[in-house]
Structure 1
Amino acid sequence: MSGPDADVIVVGSGPAGASAALELGRCRRRVLQIDGGPGRNVSSSAAHGLYTRDGASPAELRRVAQEQLGRYGVHTEVGRVISARPKENGFEVTLEDGRTFQAAKLVLAYGMRDLLPEVPGLAERWGEGVLHCPYCDGWEHRDDRAVVYGAGNAAHHMALTLQPWTRQVTVLSDGPSGFTPEQMQDFRLLDLRVIEKRIARLEGPGTRLECVHFEDGSVLAADLMVLSPLQEPSSDLGAQLGCLQNGTCLQVSASGETSVPGVYAAGDLSGGPQYVVAAASQGTLAAIALNTALIHERLKRRGVEFHKGPHR
């Protein structure tokens, strides 16, 4: 699969990468998927909001995905891609162990990395007692005592978003909150408390949360912490290839193509909503656009003009 006749290399095996590889395999393309290891949701016990698969574990979703990809001849290599560069008629990627692979097109679906606050006890509970998405896990924590970690617009938005799942919400800014008078008025109207004291640590059995300890010695009982962490790309391949960025994400067209022709991006990396089903959809759409580009290019080489008909 290392020859220049490979059609597509998909970097990433999460929902976006697996969906892109599946669609391209069904298009009878020669697809190499490179599995760089567990994704952001590895610490979660279940994925929710996924049609017909609600509650399946991330590990189970990956297992079934790989099983189904095999039906269509998709080949998977395990390893971390450390470099990517243009080559004549395509691209070449190099893995950490020195192996190289070439293909005509690339799909970047390596996702984002969460940058968690350095609060003792927080990282150990990430994905269970500490979460980032009420749409993903709010039902499981309905009516729980929730604390929102953070300040400014992100924390204000999260506190208001939690309202359908629980009305027991306290905002912990871990220092000066920076909330505007209007935001504080919103909190008062919803009977939400804001605590600006510094947090000392989180405690609870295993990965569960039971209480928040503050530096002044006070303690707040809590069942759940929710926050919107800062993020960064889990790889610099997009930057290596010269893809334009939109903040921390890669800038993509409606079809998922980056500013570098032939390089597509899907999932969290492309700045879309960070849900499993949304990432899978983006992977599928990018694959369809990429396959269409390959069709155009082949016909053009033969001197045939492709007339696009009405989309069904």
Structure 2
Amino acid sequence: MGHERNPTYDVLIVGGGAAGLSAALMLCRSLRSVLVVDAGAPRNGRSVGVHGFLSRDGMAPADLLAAGREEVRAHGGDITTGKAISASTGPGGFTVLLQDGRKMDSRRLLIASGFEDELPEVPGIEERWGRDVVHCPYCHGWEIRHQAIGVLATEPTAVQEALLLRQWSDNVTLFQHVMHTPTAEEREQLRARAVTIVEGEVQSLQIAEDALTGVVLASGKVVPCAALHVTPRPRTRSTLIQSLGLQDATPDGAPAQHLKVDEDGQTAASGVWAAGNVTDPSAQVATAAAAGIKAASAINADLVAEDISQAVAAAKQYGMSQ
């Protein structure tokens, strides 16, 4: 039995995180019909709390999203659980196919689906992710301040991350792991800031009483550590994005880490905008929400222009028929 076809929405938003819900609220307040399609797997879902968001600091991510969904629905927006897998264009806009077979039509499309974090393959990191294994000093630095902080070097930026974290603690250790050897200049900087360099590959994490207590090297040595900073790789393999021809490839053939957009969030595809982590992997909750609002304003302006054009054409047609 086929799914009943829904009416055409003004805007379909893929992703119900901070960017998607903020855009939905703004568009609903502009009297636009809006549908949010959310897969229900927020990137920050395992974090203890949202940080750096004025008046919401420490709020559980699930509670923030629940409040956002309630506000969107209170303003007439629709929200459905599902995964958008492709989009096709037509005279009226877009038809988005969901994994369960449903098809949704809209005049404009906003992609706010974020990305997945590809974590280093070290036992213990996945289990502690978002708790005492973190990725952003500005999101988690206050919570791990004055503790023994480790930095797992998997990317060339590790040295600068260790130097940055020195702002929150005078006990910072750079675990060289599989990273290139620090340059003479980098070693000088680390030494000047009393950041310890530990050579050797990291084998696993030491956990005791549901807390990180140390980093275990391949040699068997355990280095005490209460928090570990890692740099995940953004993974944005999306069949929806690919169906729209928007995802560029990196020199090694892998999908690009983010979508390219203009200052208002518009992509290279006509009628398609994007906001949040899918365009900016470093965006925090507050900046993702702001990007969603900005994109929503641009989308509404674009729809206003189309409404005017259609009204002028209809008036001319009416005049000709008289």
TM-score class normalised by the smaller sequence: over 0.9
CA RMSD of aligned residues (A): 1.7
Among 127, 140, 148, the residue aligned to 1:137: 140
Q: How does 1:71-220 map to 2 (within 5 A)?
A: 71-151=74-154, 153-205=156-208, 207-220=210-223
Structure 2: where are the runs of 5+ without partners? 250-255, 314-322
**Residues 154 and 206 from structure 1, CA distance in 2 versus in 1: closer, same or farther, beyond 3 angstroms?**
farther
**Residues 151 and 6 from structure 1, CA distance in 2 versus in 1: closer, same or farther, beyond 3 angstroms?**
closer
Larger Rg: 2
Among 264, 267, 271, the residue aligned to 2:280: 271
Letter in 2 for 1:267: G
> Is residue 2:46 matched to residue 1:37?
no
| 8 Å CA contact retained: 1:272, 1:278 | no
1:270-294 deviations in whole A, cap 9, x for unaligned? 1263200000000000000000000
Q: Name the CA distance, whole Å, in 2 between partners of 1:279 and 1:35.
A: 16
The TM-score with structure 2 as length reference comes to: 0.90
Letter in 2 for 1:67: E
Letter in 1 for 2:12: I
Q: CA deviation at 1:178?
A: 3.1
Q: Name the CA distance, whole Å, in 2 between partners of 1:174 and 1:182.
A: 19
Q: Name the CA distance, whole Å, in 2 between partners of 1:207 and 1:237.
A: 38
Q: Name the CA distance, whole Å, in 2 between partners of 1:68 and 1:238.
A: 28
The 10-residue stretch of structure 1 (216-225 or 158-167) with the greater mean CA deviation from structure 2: 158-167
Q: Name the CA distance, whole Å, in 1 between partners of 2:179 and 2:259.
A: 32
Q: CA deviation at 1:2?
A: 4.5
Equivalent residue number for residue 282 of structure 1: 291
Q: CA deviation at 1:77?
A: 0.8
Q: CA deviation at 1:245?
A: 3.8
Q: CA deviation at 1:303?
A: 3.1
> Is residue 2:261 matched to residue 1:252?
yes
Q: How does 1:213-252 map to 2 (within 5 A)?
A: 213-233=216-236, 235-243=238-246, 245=248, 247-252=256-261
**Residues 221 and 117 from structure 1, CA distance in 2 versus in 1: closer, same or farther, beyond 3 angstroms?**
same
**Residues 232 and 152 from structure 1, CA distance in 2 versus in 1: closer, same or farther, beyond 3 angstroms?**
closer
Q: Name the CA distance, whole Å, in 2 between partners of 1:72 and 1:176.
A: 50
Q: CA deviation at 1:238?
A: 1.7
SS in 2 for 1:86: strand
Structure 1: where are the runs of 5+ without partners? 305-312
SS in 1 for 2:143: helix
Letter in 2 for 1:115: E
Count of equivalent residues: 304
SS in 2 for 1:300: helix
Q: Name the CA distance, whole Å, in 1 between partners of 2:211 and 2:182.
A: 29
The TM-score with structure 1 as length reference comes to: 0.93
| 8 Å CA contact retained: 2:119, 2:231 | no
